[in-house]
Copies of this chain bind each other. A is one copy, B any other.
Amino acid sequence: MKITVIGGTGPQGQGLAQRFARAGVDVILGSRDAARAATIAEDLAGQLGDAPGTISGMDNLAAVEAANEFVILAVPYGGHDATLKSIKSGLAGKILVDIVVPLAEGNPKKAAMPLEGSATESAQAMLGDHIPVVGALHNVSAHVLADLEQGINCDILVCGNNLEAKQKVMALIEQLGVTCYNCGLAESARCIEALTPILIRLNMSKTTPFRHGGVKIWAE
């Protein structure tokens, strides 16, 4: 299994890469700057010691082409559409996992959804139905991902219009030791993506006793 993380040199991408490598998945970091991706990949792999999965780095399109099946998009929202356009030609036959949250510029406590309703829906519209888009991992902070000593403190709410793709992505992510929930069609991303600025607000608030809260489905 070889997955690609586009924007893999960013804070979320780095934590994801290390956690997947530790779970035995080979990870390719994609970046606009192939040399930078390779350097960071080497650093991350070095920190892990002898993890069962490898971490390597390439430019975005080469990274997408090298993935077996899963390409995780983890760029800041400002680069979401342009990056997707630049990798679209490599995505045929693969599944795009969109983890991008449309935060308002200059205000991470506010969502600024695209006209399609959410980043996940806009990605699906841009790619066309033959490339399934699955929204996931929106609510896990980079800080939580980077702290490899700790488990991931939340559940993963997953959505998308293609059930088979969604089930595959859930199985992939569950290798990180989390519980994934199938939250329905891509339009559920309007809710799931918008949870992140609410969590950021709570994490920044002086009135909450935590700084890295996540969300859990609770049934007891």
Interface residues of chain A, those whose CB is within 8 Å of chain B, are: 109-111, 153-154, 157, 181-184, 187-188, 190-192, 194-195, 197-199, 201-202, 205, 207-220
Picked from B109, B184, B197, B202, the residue with its CB within 8 Å of the CB of A217 is B202
Tell me, in angstroms, the Cα distance from A182 to B201 when the chains sit together: 9
Whether the pair A198, B208 counts as a contact (CB closer than 8 A) is no
Question: In the assembly, how many copies of this chain are there?
Answer: 2
In the bound complex, CA of A58 to CA of B39 (Å): 71
Residue from B182, B192, B213 in contact with A219 in the complex, judged by beta carbons closer than 8 Å: B213
| A219 pairs with B215, CB closer than 8 A | no
Report yes or no: B216 in contact with A218, Cβ–Cβ below 8 A: yes
Q: Which residue of B lies closest to A218 (CB)?
A: B216
Contact yes or no, A184 B198, CB < 8 A? yes
Which 3 residue pairs of A and B lie closest in terms of their CB atoms, listed nearest first? A210-B219, A191-B194, A213-B219
Are A217 and B194 in contact, CB atoms less than 8 angstroms apart?
no
Please determine whether B208 and A214 come into contact, CB atoms closer than 8 angstroms.
no
CB-based nearest B residue for A144? B219
* Minimum CB distance partner of A188 in chain B: B198
The interface residues of chain B lying within 8 Å CB-to-CB of A197 are 184
CA A220 to CA B207, docked complex, whole Å: 17
Contact pick for A213, options B192, B195, B213, B218, CB 8 Å? B218
Q: Which residue of B lies closest to A217 (CB)?
A: B213
CB-CB under 8 A from A211, the residues of chain B are 219
A201 to B187, CA, bound (A): 13
Q: A181-B208, A213-B219, A219-B153 known; A195 and B202 CB under 8 Å? A: no
**B residues near A205, Cβ cutoff 8 Å:** 182
Give the CA-CA distance A111 to B211 in the complex, in Å. Answer: 30
Rounded to whole angstroms, the CA-CA distance of A181 and B201 in the bound complex is 10
Which of chain B's residues have a CB closer than 8 A to the CB of A220?
A: 153
